[in-house]
Structure 1
Amino acid sequence: MALDRQAHGIGVRDPMPGVTYPPADVLARYVQAGALTRETLAGALVAAFERHRDRPAIVGPQASLTHGQLDERSDRLAAALLALGIRPRERALFQLANSAELIVAVLACLKLGVIPVCTLASHRELEIGTLGRQSEASLWFVQGDDPRFDFTAFAERLRPAIDSVREVVVVGGEPRTGQHGMEALIAAQPHREAQRVARAAIAQLDPFQVAVFQLSGGTTGVSKLIPRFSNEYLFNMRAVLEAAARRAPEVCFCGGPFLHNAGFVLHWGPALLLGGAIAIGKDLGAEGLCTLFLRERPTWAYLPKPLAIRLADGLRARGAVLDSLATVMTTASAAYVRRELGARAINIYGMAEGIVMMPRADDPFELIDASVGAPLSPLDEVRIVRAGSAEALPAGETGELLVRGPTTLHGYYPADERGRNPFIDDGWLRTGDLMQRVRIGGRDCYAFKGRLKDVIKRAGESIDCDEVERALRDHPAVADVALVGVPDARYGERACACLVLKPGAAAPGVAQLGEHFARLGFAKFKWPEFIHVTTAFPLTPSGKLSKPLLREQAKAAIEGDHKEQQP
């Protein structure tokens, strides 16, 4: 079958061990439909750079680069990585702030065929150690000038625990012994020779091969690795451009982590394909955001609600009006953004496992406010079923969302017991999310109704309750624990640790729990921000823990504490 696929130019040439590739018949269907092509993501980006060489690609107070300069710098870094012995299909970890340097580093990897593992600067020993070993990463990019955390020392300390890592590249600041400064690596490579090396590497890339390892939402502990394929990821970005009717000239602002799937595939990736510019600033406070938006005038923006609130506060303080924004993408905050910023705003739904839903450019406000629109592509298939079953539900009923399509995951990496997804059947992926199919303004669309999974969404980051609860049970004062999310106007939800204490034990404070999680190497966004102490947890009629009731109790207790603290 593999030989037959290759005879028609369909399918991966050299499969990576541990990767679950789409079946031959599935690939053939999407190739014939024109969704998956023989073009690679890196090749498409370079073609866009060549068409728009003199247009701005990066704008902001810290950096300004044209598309041609971005192409050149990433060529030179790709050549430098090759000279260090880094080879195609090896993996790279990232712990970098949103910056021009991060984009240069990712582009260099894509050109060389090195696979970015979309880790975050906020990850610590637990996440980086696990993901580094799981991916067998050979390369690690770290921030060298972060005043809040010494990433170079962190990499030096943790590197022996990830024995596959051979090279550490430092962005900003001074590298330690055995590490490399990214700027020095770029400067050492002559432009023309680097361009030749990079173009030769791109010519050898396989469009059906893994381009990026995205991260799952982390509902089973540390996130799992999601293989996203070169032509499939490119299709996803182009589908975003078409569905949103994005046009050049564009200035894009991404308010989430650049390596989150949302940042990569919905925002800065499509912006570069379009020949647009990416507005980047370090200061994301009210004043800094306001200055960046008024100076660079973004036309397309991703604004999680905390950033939308800060931007609105900054504009209000200055008495300024922002008239450049054509569209703001957000999650469940479209009405707020439209009211406070005066921009067209849309609510979206997506997951790193593939599916993205969003309203279209001409959809009415009624649809935008009541739904997350429809899937990007007509090739995306959607079913609403009774939770945990295959029983289809009629329109209007809430059920579990099942998806299948050209971007849908076929198996986590590596494809061992941990990588097998028990929720995949005949290509259908069980998302664990609750949706309702509705018809508004004559169009079929979908309304997000919650999650089956026990997860807290804080400012776009997923917190696996089970993972945090297991860590809390190791605390000497804790007899039993349940983690719940309490509503928050800025962050969506914040984590509250509900504790039953051991006899005679004193309740730990939030800071003490933070020290506990720091010792365990947890990323800070997972640390509980509230504590609710109780003598017993509420139960369902069948005798199981009732988290909905506990959530209401915790919410009431937190609100009561706040009222008592007010003068």
Structure 2
Amino acid sequence: MSNIAVSSPLGGGAFEAGLVPYPEDVAGEYRAAGYWNGRTLPSELKTAALEHADQTALITPELTLSYRDLFADAESFAAGLLEATSLWPGDAVMFQMGNVAETVVSYLGCLMAGIRPVCTLPQHGVREISVLARHVGARGLILQADFGHGQLPDHARELVSGGVVDEVIVTRGPVFDSAVAYADLLRIGTSMDPAELPYRTLDPGQVAVFQLSGGTTGLPKVAPRLHEEYAYNACAWANKLGWGRGTVALYPLPIMHNAGISVALHPALLSGATLVLAPSASIGTLLDLIEATRPNVIPLVPPALAVRLLKDPRSRETDLSSIKDFIVGGQKLPLEIAERLREVLGIKIRQKFGMAEGMFMVTPPDASEQVRHHTVGAPISPADEILILQPDSDIEVADGEVGELCVRGPYTIRGYYRAERHNAEAFTAEGFYRTGDLARRHVIDDMTCYSIDGRIKDVINRGVEKIHADEVEELIMRHPDVANVALVAMPDEVLGERGCAYLVLETGAQPLTVESLGGFLLAQGLAKYKLPERVESVPSLPLSNVGKVAKKVLRDDIAHKLADELTPDA
């Protein structure tokens, strides 16, 4: 096995170029307190797999795998990957796969091979994958050929011909050109000794996984999740929720996303729980799996999904009594929806807050509705630290006052990958991450908890996906008929927010429509979910008193227009 049993050429994680490590004294404190244990993430996962070998680890509509079988496949994939490709420990590999068993096997296999998964989405276009791959130095791509309309193999050919990646692994479809079949890697790796896999020799201070946070324009924001802290993140979540043998967690959102990894996959596998992976978030699929698998927890439900669940008549006919923990996150759940879930479906909600950079908060199950409906609770680790600061300052605000949420702790990153200039602004001198979220600290029922009350950053929360306005605006400005643009959030009952593009057109240009602008942006390589869903043409954009585009004025304008359109004529 040419690539097996070798240490990563990158050496110690603290010395990797572009990585901001935890200070040595802080890391020592976390280890002394037992939050970190000096072991790699795949070592922790393998230990749990041995302990729970005969338990069911993964259920999809197509198959069920025990811990023993799941990790046997992952080890075979890891060995085949190192034997049949040019990839080495320390390399990074992009993922463009949906919620299928092969995704979980490939992800675990990469970890055991010492190869770093880059958690991109299958909806990302060629441009976005190219920018991210170059930023993290990714050499490989693993794709699901039958995802969506089957466009990913063509995208992969373009990425290979453009010199973006060297190796492509294909599952659920024919292999093309120099690509390698997923099934062939499993076959090749089956005959090899898993004891030779390099994951045991990796430095736990190295990057285990790259998580995408933010847009891909100019400088990508990539959160480097390190072995020890990422494992602790999952263990803290599982412990806070009381997961273990007997826990059945149903996850309907993209698994190759920080939320999917950190609130579902890792905590389930590290605690001996069973993960039910839904291929989509359609209500029909969700209800089918609830009936078939009787999950007792759904660890992340976006408000949009909760709304659709309420609207579907079949929800009232389905036995939902197995669900004891229904955790809503992604954005604030309207009070009316929380109350209707309780009254109509008998579902008692909890709310959570989380981010690719680290910090998780969740409301306790036995808290009052004032806490569960109006806050996101408290951090999951006793070592988590929170400051609420006046925006653009280091001055703390009083309890109950709005300020910027700033966080630090044993699973919150100390800096984005290869982003020195951005890190200087995004982190305080003491290592607190400035989230850009507006928050308040409350003391309710003798409990300190937090609410999220908006954001400073220019981000549109479309369901669970975040659309960074500057990325879309940059591409819109390439259109020859556009003189200026501002993309803002408009309210939406189902998704929470959608994007509205305010356009200033060149003199004499014909108006652009949602369809024509969308076609242009798709041709530029933008993911479909990021396309503006309304277009407003204006003679000029409103400016603030410091000469910046006054987006609040535009957000208020589109909100008023939508309200007027819903009001029947007198």
The answer as to 2:362 corresponding to 1:364 is no
The answer as to 2:494 corresponding to 1:490 is yes
Report if aligned partners of 1:412, 1:421 keep a CA contact under 8 Å in 2.
Answer: no
Tell me the distance in 2 between the aligned counterparts of 1:494 and 1:318: 29
Tell me the distance in 1 between the aligned counterparts of 2:139 and 2:508: 49
SS of the counterpart of 2:16? coil
Report 1:73-112 matches (<5 A): 73-83=73-83, 84-112=85-113
Report 1:211-290 matches (<5 A): 211-218=208-215, 223-290=220-287
Report 1:308-347 matches (<5 A): 308-314=306-312, 316=314, 319-331=317-329, 332-333=332-333, 335=338, 337-347=341-351
2:107 counterpart letter in structure 1: V
1:397 is displaced (CA, Å) by: 1.0
Report if aligned partners of 2:426, 2:435 keep a CA contact under 8 Å in 1.
Answer: no
Residue 197 (structure 1) aligns with? 196
Q: 1:293 to 1:533 in 2, by over 3 A?
A: same
Q: 1:449 to 1:283 in 2, by over 3 A?
A: closer
SS of the counterpart of 1:425? coil
Report if aligned partners of 1:219, 1:454 keep a CA contact under 8 Å in 2.
Answer: no
Report if aligned partners of 1:243, 1:361 keep a CA contact under 8 Å in 2.
Answer: no
1:419 is displaced (CA, Å) by: 6.2
Residue 393 (structure 1) aligns with? 397
Residue 56 (structure 1) aligns with? 56
Tell me the distance in 2 between the aligned counterparts of 1:147 and 1:415: 33
Report if aligned partners of 1:395, 1:438 keep a CA contact under 8 Å in 2.
Answer: yes
1:531 is displaced (CA, Å) by: 1.1
Q: 2:205 pairs with 198, 205, 208, which one?
A: 208
Tell me the distance in 2 between the aligned counterparts of 1:489 and 1:245: 33
Deviations 1:303-328 (A, max 9, x none): 21232333344463672231111112
1:487 is displaced (CA, Å) by: 1.1
Report if aligned partners of 2:78, 2:112 keep a CA contact under 8 Å in 1.
Answer: yes
Can you give the 5+ residue segments of structure 1 that lack an aligned partner in the other structure?
1-10
Tell me the distance in 2 between the aligned counterparts of 1:394 and 1:284: 40
Tell me the distance in 1 between the aligned counterparts of 2:545 and 2:318: 55
Residue 306 (structure 1) aligns with? 304
1:102 is displaced (CA, Å) by: 0.7
Residue 144 (structure 1) aligns with? 145
1:427 is displaced (CA, Å) by: 1.2
Deviations 1:3-59 (A, max 9, x none): xxxxxxxx9477323222111111111111111112221111111111212211121
Residue 520 (structure 1) aligns with? 524
Report if aligned partners of 2:60, 2:279 keep a CA contact under 8 Å in 1.
Answer: no
Tell me the distance in 2 between the aligned counterparts of 1:203 and 1:18: 24
Report 1:120-159 matches (<5 A): 120-159=121-160
1:555 is displaced (CA, Å) by: 2.4
1:545 is displaced (CA, Å) by: 3.1
1:132 counterpart letter in structure 2: A
SS of the counterpart of 1:450? strand
Residue 3 (structure 2) aligns with? none
Q: Percent identity?
A: 36
Report 1:468-507 matches (<5 A): 468-507=472-511
SS of the counterpart of 1:293? helix
Tell me the distance in 2 between the aligned counterparts of 1:284 and 1:536: 40
Can you give the 5+ residue segments of structure 2 that lack an aligned partner in the other structure?
1-10
1:562 is displaced (CA, Å) by: 6.0
1:330 is displaced (CA, Å) by: 1.5
Report if aligned partners of 2:132, 2:216 keep a CA contact under 8 Å in 1.
Answer: no
SS of the counterpart of 1:188? helix
Tell me the distance in 2 between the aligned counterparts of 1:130 and 1:550: 30
SS of the counterpart of 1:355? strand
Report 1:421-440 matches (<5 A): 422-440=426-444
Deviations 1:348-392 (A, max 9, x none): 111111111111233222211111111111211111111100111
SS of the counterpart of 2:358? coil
Report if aligned partners of 1:510, 1:531 keep a CA contact under 8 Å in 2.
Answer: yes
1:187 is displaced (CA, Å) by: 2.1
1:465 is displaced (CA, Å) by: 1.2
Report if aligned partners of 2:406, 2:434 keep a CA contact under 8 Å in 1.
Answer: yes
Q: Which moved more, 1:213-222 or 1:225-234?
A: 213-222
The answer as to 2:379 corresponding to 1:383 is no
Report if aligned partners of 1:118, 1:212 keep a CA contact under 8 Å in 2.
Answer: yes
Tell me the distance in 2 between the aligned counterparts of 1:415 and 1:506: 40
1:197 is displaced (CA, Å) by: 2.9
Q: 1:459 pairs with 449, 456, 463, which one?
A: 463
Q: 1:275 to 1:444 in 2, by over 3 A?
A: same
Q: Which moved more, 1:23-32 or 1:214-223?
A: 214-223
2:463 counterpart letter in structure 1: A
1:282 is displaced (CA, Å) by: 2.5
Q: 2:535 pairs with 531, 556, 559, which one?
A: 531
1:402 counterpart letter in structure 2: C
Q: 1:330 to 1:439 in 2, by over 3 A?
A: same
Deviations 1:38-90 (A, max 9, x none): 22211111111112122111213222211111011001000001102322111
Residue 5 (structure 2) aligns with? none
Report if aligned partners of 2:485, 2:503 keep a CA contact under 8 Å in 1.
Answer: yes
SS of the counterpart of 1:187? helix
1:330 counterpart letter in structure 2: V
1:93 is displaced (CA, Å) by: 0.4
Tell me the distance in 2 between the aligned counterparts of 1:345 and 1:410: 32
Residue 6 (structure 2) aligns with? none
SS of the counterpart of 2:15? coil
Tell me the distance in 1 between the aligned counterparts of 2:429 and 2:384: 16
2:169 counterpart letter in structure 1: V
1:144 is displaced (CA, Å) by: 1.1
Tell me the distance in 1 between the aligned counterparts of 2:491 and 2:327: 21
Aligned Cα root-mean-square deviation (Å): 2.2
Tell me how many residue pairs correspond in the alignment.
551
Report if aligned partners of 1:371, 1:445 keep a CA contact under 8 Å in 2.
Answer: yes
2:203 counterpart letter in structure 1: D
Tell me the distance in 2 between the aligned counterparts of 1:217 and 1:454: 10
Report if aligned partners of 1:456, 1:465 keep a CA contact under 8 Å in 2.
Answer: yes
